[in-house]
């Protein structure tokens, strides 16, 4: 099946694999996110009707690291840990100039964190989410405040893994102040983004009640010298115990 951007709108039905786009809930430079439904006969996919988030990722063919992107997508679908939003499937269609990736994810019913929401206890949960991805071999590549969601019970989810990084348009999507030196200088390996995640965490924590010394250590210019997630977690816990 061949799709074009004109085919993507609320109410669209994409067959196969049986996706209905119901309501647009997010839009960025690389695509859109809809709330929708996913009808599948695959027994391992279990999600309530209407509880899907459908991400439409549009990438120029000549600028796309397709192999790395699809490898990452397969890894995300294989993750079955409770603390991660489910990735249920992905599909690729091409037209003359572009690829359209349709990625089916669990819809998290939560609100984005705000700077004023980030207490030391919340920061620990945020660190645990990033560290959890890293332990599974996934680097997020898109650590930003709006990608941390908190639900009504206080659970924190880290959503929207930065698949756009494989389109080589990462710098175009961020202001320079949001980017670590290795991205600006073009010296980072897109397959080794752990240091970028750590730097971006520092950017998120800047201006909160978290110690400026911790933020500075997370954002040290040299990636190898940055404070690790385990060390940051330990320092925050120590500050909580001493307060």
- Classify 136 as helix, strand or coil: coil
CA-based nearest residue to 133, from 99, 104, 163: 163
**The dihedral formed by the CA atoms of 7, 13, 14 and 16, expressed in degrees to the nearest 10:** -150
239 HSE (CA, 13 A, CB side):
17
Q: pLDDT in tens for each of the 243 residues of the chain?
A: 455 555 677 777 777 677 888 888 887 767 788 988 887 655 455 555 557 899 988 888 887 888 888 999 999 999 888 778 889 889 888 777 788 898 999 888 889 999 999 999 999 999 999 999 999 989 998 899 999 999 888 889 999 888 877 776 655 666 777 778 888 787 777 667 899 999 999 999 999 999 999 999 999 999 999 999 999 999 999 989 887
Which residues are CB-neighbours of 62 under 8 A, at least 6 positions away? none
SS3 183: helix
Determine the 3-state secondary structure of 210 from DSSP.
Answer: coil
12/20 Cα distance (integer angstroms): 6
Residues in the chain: 243
Q: Output the six-digit token pair for 1.
A: 């099946």
């Amino acid at each position: 099946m061949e799709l074009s951007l004109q085919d993507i709108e609320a109410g669209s039905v994409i067959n196969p694999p049986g996706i209905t786009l119901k309501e647009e809930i997010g839009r960025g430079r690389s695509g859109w996110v809809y709330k929708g439904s996913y009808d599948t006969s695959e027994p391992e996919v279990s999600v309530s009707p209407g509880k899907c988030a459908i991400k439409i990722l549009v990438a120029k063919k000549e600028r796309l690291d397709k192999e790395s992107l699809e490898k990452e997508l397969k890894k995300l679908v294989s993750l079955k840990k409770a603390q991660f939003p489910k990735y249920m499937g992905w599909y690729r269609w091409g037209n003359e100039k572009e690829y359209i990736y349709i990625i089916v994810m669990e819809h998290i019913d939560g609100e984005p964190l705000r700077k004023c929401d980030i207490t030391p206890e919340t920061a620990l949960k945020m660190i645990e989410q990033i560290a959890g991805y890293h332990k599974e071999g996934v680097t997020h590549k898109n650590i930003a405040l709006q990608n941390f969601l908190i639900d009504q019970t206080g659970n924190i989810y880290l959503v929207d893994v930065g698949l756009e990084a494989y389109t080589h348009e990462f710098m175009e999507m961020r202001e320079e102040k949001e980017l670590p030196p290795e991205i600006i200088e073009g010296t980072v390996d897109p397959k080794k983004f752990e240091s970028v995640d750590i730097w971006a965490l520092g950017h998120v924590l800047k201006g909160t009640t978290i110690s400026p010394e911790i933020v500075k250590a997370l954002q040290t210019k040299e990636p190898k010298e940055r404070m690790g997630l385990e060390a940051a977690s330990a320092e925050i816990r120590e500050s909580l115990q001493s307060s």
